[in-house]
Amino acid sequence: MLDETYMRRCLELAEMGMGNVSPNPMVGCVIVADGRIIGEGFHRKIGEAHAEVNAVKAVIDQYGDQAEDLFKRATVYVSLEPCAHFGKTPPCADLLIRHRVKKVVIGNKDPFSEVDGKGIEKLKNAGISVVQGVLEDSCTLLNRRFFTRVQQQRPYFILKWAQTANGFFAPLKRNKEWISSGMAKKLTHKWRTEEDAILVGKGTVLADNPQLNTREWTGKNPVRLVIDKNLDIPVSAAIFNSDAKTVIFNEIKTEVIDNIHYIQMEDMQFYLPQKIAYQLYLMDIQSVIIEGGAFMLSLFINAGLWDEARVFHSSHSWMTGIPAPEIHGFIEEVMNVDADRLLIYKNIKS
């Protein structure tokens, strides 16, 4: 029970890195000696110190000369296997060995090929006791984006839309009309801060002229991804502003102009979701929210390339409109968001 308690704290810490560490995983670390926590840390930002490094530093900063004796009696809890390779930072397994910690308790084994059990092997070979699989399901859930990218070589795809009570997605004419509440909009902007990118089709841009940023919430703007086969979107559109990097997938050209990246693709009418998924994997984009339109959402649904869907159901109806996409998945959660009802679906095949 104590192992689970400390691992839950690791998960709380790890989640504090959400939106800032991709394509790395979110990791939390807790160091315990003599029945008390003596240091904590989490991976704060891509390219910076890992969770174990920050936790070890916290112990040294607080206890000074006493730190090394404490490490010899310490159990290190970490939500993901300590790395065993030199990347942007040195191996965390080597750090724990150098400080001669007594025991390491791990949530998940790291599936990344440069680690994948090698960190655990290093620790055991150094005589450190290792326990793994504590709250493994919870640790996997937290890093589902990372696991999807490493194991399936594609980003984690989140579908998001709002629909009326009678199943309409958007007006028949190209005019902007809100379906969900202001609270739903704020929540949507919070979600954007947590993911790497946001994807829409040309029709959504022409109809709504969206900014695709996080102006309703404090946090980073996602990379904006737009499907525009023939480059029909005018350069005056809001997606061309300087708020964030914008990637335009098209059949005309590959070019970079300031923060606008044009990427040419062939035969976009065939296997478009699969082509986009592979291109984003190569770009180290680990998670994507797909926000529209109905045709684009349906393309990914029909291809089976989605992991979860977040669908707001409004309490009011329209006489006519574009039908909402049809989705079949496991309803994991239902909640009220102001006047709307939010359903969270999981793709049981992903």
DSSP secondary structure letters along 281-302: HHTT--EEEEEE-HHHHHHHHH
Per-residue burial over 10-45, b = 16 or more CB atoms within 10 Å of its CB, e = otherwise: bbebbeebebbbbbbbbbbbbbbbeeeebbbbbbee
The CA-atom distances, in angstroms, between 104 and each of 74, 111, 219 are 9, 18, 34
Quick one: tokens of 52? 């174990």
pLDDT in the model for residue 67: 96
Quick one: tokens of 140? 């996997």
* 5 known ligand binder: no
Q: At residue 76, what are phi and psi to the nearest 5 degrees?
A: -100, 120
Radius of gyration of the chain (CA): 23
Amino acid at 272: L
The CA-atom distances, in angstroms, between 98 and each of 32, 127, 252, 349 are 17, 12, 55, 43
What would the pLDDT profile of 287-305 be if each residue is shown by its tens digit? Answer: 999 998 999 999 999 999 9
Query: Catalytic site residues?
Result: 52
Rounded distance between C-alpha atoms, residue 217 and residue 77, angstroms: 32
Per-residue burial over 215-226, b = 16 or more CB atoms within 10 Å of its CB, e = otherwise: eebeeebbbbbb
Q: Hey, which residues does 156 pair with through a beta bridge?
A: 287
177 contacts 163 by C-beta, under 8 angstroms: no
* 188 known ligand binder: no
- The boundaries of every CATH 3.40.430.10 domain in the chain are 155-347
The 3-state secondary structure of 164-209 reads: CCCCEEECCCCCCCCCCCHHHHHHHHHHHHHCCEEEEEHHHHHHHC
Quick one: tokens of 336? 């009220």
* 29 known ligand binder: no
Rounded distance between C-alpha atoms, residue 120 and residue 115, angstroms: 9
Amino acid at 29: C
334 contacts 341 by C-beta, under 8 angstroms: yes
Percent above pLDDT 70 for the chain: 98
Residue with the two structure tokens 């699989």: 133
pLDDT at position 37 over 90: yes
Quick one: tokens of 117? 């059990």
In this prediction, residues 40-48 reach a mean pLDDT of: 96
Indicate the average pLDDT of the chain.
95
Indicate the pLDDT class of residue 314, thresholds 50, 70 and 90: very high
* 192 known ligand binder: yes
Q: Hey, which residues does 52 pair with through a beta bridge?
A: none
In this prediction, residues 82-93 reach a mean pLDDT of: 81
**Which CATH entry fits the domain spanning 1-148: 2.40.50.140, 3.40.50.11540, 3.40.140.10, 3.40.640.10?**
3.40.140.10
pLDDT at position 347 over 90: yes
Q: Which sign does the torsion angle of CA 180, 182, 187, 188 carry?
A: positive
DSSP string covering 120-160: HHHHHHTT-EEEE-TTHHHHHHHTHHHHHHHHHSSPEEEEE
Record: fold of 155-347: Dihydrofolate Reductase, subunit A (3.40.430)
* 215 known ligand binder: yes
Quick one: tokens of 211? 């900014």
pLDDT at position 174 over 90: no
What would the pLDDT profile of 220-274 be if each residue is shown by its tens digit? Answer: 999 999 999 999 999 999 999 999 999 999 999 999 999 999 999 999 999 999 9
End-to-end CA distance of the chain: 32
pLDDT at position 139 over 70: yes
pLDDT at position 176 over 80: no
* 195 known ligand binder: no
Q: At residue 293, what are phi and psi to the nearest 5 degrees?
A: -85, -165
Quick one: tokens of 14? 């790890």
Quick one: tokens of 333? 């959660």
Q: Which sign does the torsion angle of CA 146, 11, 78, 64 carry?
A: positive
pLDDT at position 350 over 70: no
How many residues belong to the chain? 350
- The boundaries of every CATH 3.40.140.10 domain in the chain are 1-148
Q: Which sign does the torsion angle of CA 289, 292, 298, 299 carry?
A: negative
